[in-house]
Amino acid sequence: MQTLVIIPSLMHKYSFSAPLAWMFSDHVAQVRGIYSIDLNKAVVKAYDSFIVELGWFIELVEFDLIVRFIRKHNKKATILFGGLYAQLKYREIFANSPVDYFIKGDNEVPIKHYLDGVDPRAIPNMVGRDFENERRYVFQQEDYKSLEFNLDWFPDYFKYLAGAALPDDEMDLRFDEMPLFPRYLEKPGENLAPERRWRVPPRGGYHYLPMLLTARGECPIAHAGCEYCLGSRKELLCSIYGRRTLIMDNETLIYHLHKIEKKFSRASIVIGNKFDYDFRGHFFDLEVTIEADYFNRPEDIAKILPAFRQAKVHTTLYEDTLTCKKVRDAAEIAAFQALEDENHQVYFLAFGNDAEASAIPKQRQLHAEVILPHWTNYDFYDDRANALRKSREWYFLTGQTNLYPLPRRISTRLIRSIAFRVAYLLNKAKLIDLSKKVL
Ligand code: SF4
């Protein structure tokens, strides 16, 4: 069955959930992907089967608008939803949005059956409005090697990326001006001044797709200080997936990188487990962004960085991840910097005061505040009222109105324009602090 996959446009510019880059590799001819900014009546009428992503809670309002828009313009539509936030809240979502199906836990095999037209009631892990099948499919360690990366079904990703403004190491965020310019979805080719590129990574490159995630399931390195993070909810995540975390080993990671370089020129890697990787003796013709989330030393990074044509590593200013904040000493930062050359760089996630007091050069500092505002705390967004409120604010900030009827489109644009200007003036007069309100 021909299926349209719709990605909310709200998250970081031109991104979507990493698993989608391998989920449809067997069905690229019958799946097409679009961002929700491009959803319109004609597109909705052209399909009867839809998959809508709900990866994170700030997409909640946009997700609901998407499924209601589909329902309104295509009475025959069948809607399956998925994503990490959806895994946590699928019962709430069934209760509040007009959706039909959901796959709980791992979904590589169930999604294949679904696209092959198998009756959803016969598919393991499948949930419908009036049934919930047993979770009989569980991803296994040996399945890692079977992943095939294919984005042919979603050409818009490359189309938009080609016209997107690039991060700029020299750029300094100007929080006081950004609320007037929240145009991270600026049109392809439009080159906004760097300091106005809200939600475009200021520096450190994009997290390109395909993205290799080295850990699946609960966070294997959760420790004191991680309580705010969903990854630390081990029991909850184990109960969702029916297994403990799975970690991609060095050999499998190398195997996939060689496979990816044959088809793609860019990729990213997120290392969310104990650092145990060594690419010496290999060369990958790829431009990569590597997020090294846990405990790493310069000698660890030296084993992977030179293996790529171009690479940007994101580590932290802290020895023991962002949550513990034991600042690395100047000698260690110098050792990281000694790994750099024209094509290989190391960036440090750091909080403002620590960054200023440290030896990291300004153009290598990544702002930790921007990625860890208070509302990324699991306790905050676990509450549906909080999740809805924050996601509504965010959707309003994007300026997207294509899912509204015409009168609401006009009024939203008007209100938004006035609200931004008033907020800007109040912020300038220091009567409010917009950076705290928006982030
Ligand atoms: S904060 Fe990082 S290390 Fe801690 S649980 Fe979350 S992902 Fe894991």
What is the pLDDT at residue 11?
60
Q: Measure 229 CA to ligand 1 centroid, in angstroms.
A: 6
Protein residue with its CA nearest to atom 7 in ligand 1: 231
C-beta of 220 in contact with ligand 1 (< 6 A):
no
C-beta of 291 in contact with ligand 1 (< 6 A):
no
pLDDT bracket for residue 183 (50, 70, 90): very low
Higher pLDDT, 185 or 315: 315
pLDDT tens digits along 412-433: 999 988 887 888 788 788 888 7
C-beta of 240 in contact with ligand 1 (< 6 A):
no
Q: Which residue has the tokens 């994503």?
A: 83
pLDDT bracket for residue 369 (50, 70, 90): confident
Q: Measure 287 CA to ligand 1 centroid, in angstroms.
A: 26
CATH class for the domain made up of 3-137: alpha beta
Q: Give me 251's structure tokens.
A: 């050999």
SS (H, E, C) 373-429: CHHHCHHHHCCHHHHHHHHHHHHHHHCCCCCCCHHHHHHHHHHHHHHHHHHHHHHHC
Instruction: Indicate whether 345 pLDDT > 90.
Output: yes
How much is the mean pLDDT over the chain? 89
Instruction: Indicate whether 113 pLDDT > 50.
Output: yes
What is the pLDDT at residue 149?
97
Ordered by start, the domain boundaries in the chain are 3-137, 211-372, 387-438
C-beta of 237 in contact with ligand 1 (< 6 A):
no
Q: Which of 321, 377, 378 to mutate to test the pocket of ligand 1 (most atoms within 8 A of CB)?
A: 321
**Amino acid of residue 175:** F
**pTM reported for the whole predicted model:** 0.92
What is the pLDDT at residue 419?
84
Instruction: Indicate whether 189 pLDDT > 60.
Output: no
Q: Measure 315 CA to ligand 1 centroid, in angstroms.
A: 13
Q: Give the containing element (helix H, strand E) for 182.
A: none
C-beta of 222 in contact with ligand 1 (< 6 A):
yes
What is the pLDDT at residue 184?
46
Q: Give the containing element (helix H, strand E) for 186.
A: none
Lowest mean pLDDT among 177-181, 215-219, 235-239, 382-386: 177-181
Q: Summarize the confidence of residues 83-100 as an average pLDDT.
A: 96
Instruction: Indicate whether 267 pLDDT > 50.
Output: yes
pLDDT tens digits along 291-316: 998 888 999 999 999 999 999 999 99
Q: Give me 313's structure tokens.
A: 């590593």
C-alpha dihedral (321, 205, 162, 82), degrees to nearest 10: 0
Provide the 10 A C-beta neighbour count for residue 142.
9
Q: Measure 95 CA to ligand 1 centroid, in angstroms.
A: 30
Q: H-type helices in 242-383, by residue range?
A: 250-261, 298-301, 330-337, 352-357, 368-371, 378-381
Closest Cα to residue 43, out of 54, 34, 52?
34
Lowest mean pLDDT among 122-126, 174-178, 285-289: 174-178
Instruction: Indicate whether 192 pLDDT > 70.
Output: no
What does the alpha-carbon distance between residue 157 and residue 373 come to, in Å, rounded to a whole number? Answer: 27
- Collapsing DSSP states into helix, strand and coil, what is residue 5? strand
